[in-house]
C-alpha cells in the first residue's frame, strides 16, 4: 500500500470511530439495525486485517482475494448500507455489501499492481499479482490482474448504479475515477 500498514490500520480505526460517533447521535427507530451493521463491518474488517498480517506472501490467489475483500470492502460498505437502512431499504443491504466487497477487491488488485510496479513490496507482503505470477510470467500476471480488477469494478459499478435514489453514485464516481488513466 502507498502509505503502509500502520496508516491503513489508523485510517480503519478513524473510520470505525467516526461511524460509532454518527450512530451515537442517531435517535431514530433504526438505531439497533445501524449499530448491528456497523458491528458487522468492523468485525469483517478486523478479520481481514488479521488475515493480511498473518497470511504472508505464500497464500493462494483465492485466499488473498478473500483477505482483500474483507479488509477493504466492509467499511466502504457502511457508506452504502447505513443510509439504505435509515431510508427503509433494508432489503438492499445484501446488494450494497456485494458492491462494497467487489469495490474493495477491485481496488486492492489495482493497488497491488501499483505496489508491484513501484517496487514498494517487502518480502513478507501479500500481493495478489505476485501470487498470480507464481503460475505465469510477471507481465502476464499484471495483464490478468488488471483484466480481473476491471471486470470486478464494472460489476460493482453496475450494481451501485441500481441502488435507489442515487445512493450508489459515490461508488460509481470512485470507480470511474479509478478507470481514468493517470496523467
For residues 102-109, average pLDDT: 94
Provide the pLDDT confidence category of residue 13 given band limits of 50, 70 and 90.
low
Strand, helix or coil for residue 119: coil
| 8 Å CB contact between 100 and 73 | yes
Rounded to 5°, angle at Cα 163 from 158 and 167: 110
Q: What's the pTM value of the predicted model, to 2 decimals? A: 0.82
Q: What is the pLDDT of residues 50-90, one digit of tens each?
A: 888 887 667 889 999 999 999 889 988 988 998 899 889 99
Alpha carbons 176 and 102: distance in angstroms, whole number: 14
C-alpha–C-alpha distance, residues 5 and 105, integer Å: 17
Provide the pLDDT for residue 32.
Answer: 80
8 A C-beta contact, residue 85 and residue 34: yes
Q: Given this model, what pLDDT does residue 126 score? A: 79
Residue 96 has pLDDT above 50, yes or no: yes
Set of cell numbers at residue 174: 470512485
Distance CA 81, CA 79 (A): 6
Look at 147 and 3; give whichever has higher pLDDT. Answer: 147
Q: Output the nine-digit C-alpha cell for 54.
A: 498473518
Neighbouring C-beta atoms of residue 13, cutoff 10 Å: 12
The tens digit of pLDDT for each residue in 121-131 reads 555 567 899 88
Indicate the fold that domain 4-179 takes in CATH. Farnesyl Diphosphate Synthase (1.10.600)
Distance CA(29)–CA(154), nearest Å, equals 35
Query: Could you state, in order of their start, the residue ranges of all structural domains in the chain?
Result: 4-179
Amino acid at each position: 500500500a502507498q502509505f503502509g500498514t500502520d496508516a491503513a490500520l489508523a485510517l480503519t480505526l478513524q473510520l470505525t470511530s467516526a461511524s460509532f460517533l454518527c450512530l451515537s447521535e442517531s435517535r431514530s427507530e433504526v438505531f439497533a439495525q445501524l449499530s448491528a451493521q456497523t458491528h458487522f463491518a468492523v468485525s469483517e474488517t478486523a478479520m481481514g486485517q488479521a488475515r493480511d498480517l498473518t497470511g504472508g506472501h505464500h497464500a493462494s490467489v483465492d485466499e488473498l482475494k478473500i483477505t482483500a475483500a474483507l479488509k477493504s470492502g466492509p467499511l466502504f460498505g457502511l457508506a452504502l448500507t447505513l443510509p439504505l437502512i435509515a431510508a427503509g431499504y433494508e432489503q438492499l443491504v445484501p446488494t450494497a455489501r456485494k458492491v462494497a466487497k467487489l469495490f474493495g477487491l477491485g481496488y486492492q488488485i489495482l493497488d497491488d499492481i501499483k505496489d508491484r510496479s513501484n517496487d514498494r513490496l517487502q518480502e513478507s507482503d501479500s500481493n495478489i499479482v505476485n501470487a498470480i505470477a507464481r503460475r505465469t510470467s510477471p507481465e502476464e500476471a499484471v495483464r490478468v490482474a488488471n483484466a480481473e480488477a476491471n471486470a470486478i469494478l464494472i460489476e460493482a459499478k453496475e450494481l451501485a448504479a441500481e441502488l435507489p435514489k442515487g445512493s450508489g453514485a459515490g461508488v460509481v464516481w470512485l470507480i470511474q475515477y479509478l478507470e481514468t488513466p493517470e496523467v
